């Protein structure tokens, strides 16, 4: 990058760079960030980024979409831009990587009948494979990674709103998620806790069709004599670790709770833990993967 970034006086403003494989939802993410108050620019050439940030003072957070369709794109140049913004300006810079299973990317291209930007005369699969290989460094460097494989545009907007839609005196955001071990663990986790040792409401016919947000299910799980100690020690552990991670410069922390079906125990514990952390001032988003998959709930932010 040839131009120098000039330090800005807008210390509270954010620059969010959104990247990932073509078809993973970058444009949807940019529009979602625009809806929650960001100035949004898609496909800005990286060579123009220094000029943008060193120009007239900005009054809004900035969201930029960057991928292989940018004419001067490379993983190395984008990582360099992130490092320079973080070290040489007063902006808070976040790199968001939108991940997605290759089979789903192929299906999306087949449904839209669009050509892949790296495979104009080849199959979409060849272009997708080539692009994912090129983006490997960015995936490893990302501050926030969101797997859009099973997310609708509404779900993706809710996820981004959880990360960037609320203001807080605490700089590190926390995502608390529930999931089913039968469907595998979510990606991009910092900590995983297993809730399968707790009483399982699935075996109570009156509770089987409900989920962990229901008061009767919550009471059933909480009555397990092991729950109170487990929850208290978990909360103490997380509250001990979060400031340490923040001191190390981590911007986001993702904690996942798993159980057999991802419907009862993990959902209840995730809700209880997220709300306890929110009450102490942390910026928390909540996501229940299996419930979302069934269309019963959307991502929410803890109060």
Query: Is residue 160 domain-shared with residue 178, that is, in the same domain?
Result: no
Query: Is residue 117 domain-shared with residue 189, that is, in the same domain?
Result: no
Tell me the DSSP string of 93-115.
EEEEEEE--HHHHHHHHHHHTPP
Query: What range defines the domain where residue 92 resides?
Result: 14-164
Using the predicted structure, report yes or no on whether residue 171 has a pLDDT greater than 70: no
Average per-residue pLDDT for the chain: 84
Residue 57 DSSP one-character state: P
Query: Is residue 44 domain-shared with residue 121, that is, in the same domain?
Result: yes
Residue 210 belongs to a domain? yes
Q: How far apart are CA 19 and CA 235, in angstroms?
A: 33
Binning pLDDT at 50, 70 and 90, where does residue 4 land? very low
Q: What is the pLDDT of residue 8?
A: 42
Query: Is residue 212 domain-shared with residue 134, that is, in the same domain?
Result: no
Query: Is residue 131 domain-shared with residue 246, that is, in the same domain?
Result: no
Query: Is residue 115 domain-shared with residue 142, that is, in the same domain?
Result: yes
Residue 83 belongs to a domain? yes
Query: Is residue 96 domain-shared with residue 113, that is, in the same domain?
Result: yes
Residue 2 belongs to a domain? no
Q: What is the pLDDT of residue 139?
A: 85
Binning pLDDT at 50, 70 and 90, where does residue 249 land? low
CB 269 within 8 A of CB 191: no
131 or 267: which leads in pLDDT: 267
Residue 4 belongs to a domain? no
CB 17 within 8 A of CB 138: no
Q: What is the pLDDT of residue 131?
A: 82
Residue 265 belongs to a domain? yes
SS3 content of the chain, % helix, strand, coil (to 5): 40, 20, 40
Query: Is residue 41 domain-shared with residue 160, that is, in the same domain?
Result: yes
Q: What is the pLDDT of residue 222?
A: 97
Binning pLDDT at 50, 70 and 90, where does residue 210 land? very high
Q: What is the pLDDT of residue 170?
A: 43
Last-in-domain residue among 130, 164, 198: 164
Q: What is the pLDDT of residue 118?
A: 64
Residue 178 belongs to a domain? yes
Query: Is residue 142 domain-shared with residue 186, that is, in the same domain?
Result: no
Q: Whole-prediction pTM value?
A: 0.57
Query: Is residue 32 domain-shared with residue 83, that is, in the same domain?
Result: yes
Q: How far apart are CA 164 and CA 61, in angstroms?
A: 10
For 12-64, write each residue's pLDDT tens digit: 588 999 998 888 888 899 998 988 888 999 988 888 888 888 878 778 899 99
CATH for 115: 3.40.50.300
Q: What is the pLDDT of residue 201?
A: 97
Give me the helices (H) in the chain, please: 26-35, 49-53, 75-88, 102-112, 124-134, 136-141, 153-164, 215-222, 227-247, 265-279, 289-293
Query: Is residue 157 domain-shared with residue 247, that is, in the same domain?
Result: no
Among the residue ranges 57-61, 93-97, 217-221, 226-230, the one predicted with the least confidence is 57-61
Tell me how many domains the chain contains. 2
Using the predicted structure, report yes or no on whether residue 141 has a pLDDT greater than 60: yes
Residue 9 belongs to a domain? no
The CA distances from residue 245 to 54, 97, 204, 252, in Å, are 31, 20, 40, 9
CB 131 within 8 A of CB 22: yes
For 268-289, write each residue's pLDDT tens digit: 999 999 999 989 888 888 889 8
Query: Is residue 274 domain-shared with residue 136, that is, in the same domain?
Result: no
Binning pLDDT at 50, 70 and 90, where does residue 7 land? very low
Last-in-domain residue among 164, 182, 217: 164
Q: What is the pLDDT of residue 300?
A: 44
Q: How far apart are CA 99 and CA 143, in angstroms?
A: 13
Last-in-domain residue among 123, 138, 164: 164
Residue 231 belongs to a domain? yes
56 or 113: which leads in pLDDT: 56
């Amino acid at each position: 990058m040839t131009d120098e970034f000039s330090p800005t006086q807008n210390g509270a403003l954010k620059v969010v760079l959104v990247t990932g494989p073509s078809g993973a939802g970058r444009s949807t993410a940019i529009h979602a960030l625009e809806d929650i108050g960001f100035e949004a620019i898609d496909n800005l050439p990286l060579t123009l980024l220094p000029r943008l940030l060193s120009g007239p003072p900005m009054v809004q957070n900035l969201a930029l979409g960057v991928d292989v369709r940018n004419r001067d794109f490379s993983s190395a140049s984008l990582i360099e831009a992130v490092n320079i913004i973080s070290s040489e300006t007063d902006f808070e810079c976040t790199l968001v990587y939108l991940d997605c299973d290759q089979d789903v990317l192929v299906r999306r291209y087949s449904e839209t009948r669009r050509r892949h930007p790296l495979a104009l005369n080849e199959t979409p699969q060849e272009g997708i494979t080539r692009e994912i290989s090129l983006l490997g460094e960015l995936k490893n460097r990302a501050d926030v990674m969101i797997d859009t494989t099973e997310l609708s545009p509404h779900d993706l907007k809710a996820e981004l709103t959880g990360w960037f839609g609320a203001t807080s005196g605490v700089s590190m955001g926390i995502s608390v998620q529930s999931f089913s071990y039968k469907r595998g663990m979510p990606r991009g986790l910092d900590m995983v806790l297993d809730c399968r040792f707790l009483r399982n409401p699935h075996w109570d016919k009156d509770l089987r069709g409900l989920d962990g947000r229901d008061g009767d299910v919550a009471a059933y799980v909480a009555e397990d004599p092991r729950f109170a100690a487990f929850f208290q020690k978990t909360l103490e552990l997380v509250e001990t670790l979060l400031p340490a991670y923040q001191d190390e410069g981590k911007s986001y922390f993702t904690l996942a709770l798993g159980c057999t079906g991802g419907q009862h125990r993990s959902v209840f514990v995730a809700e209880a833990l997220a709300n306890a952390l929110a009450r102490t001032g942390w910026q928390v988003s909540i996501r229940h993967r299996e419930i979302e998959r069934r269309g019963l709930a959307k991502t929410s932010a803890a109060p």
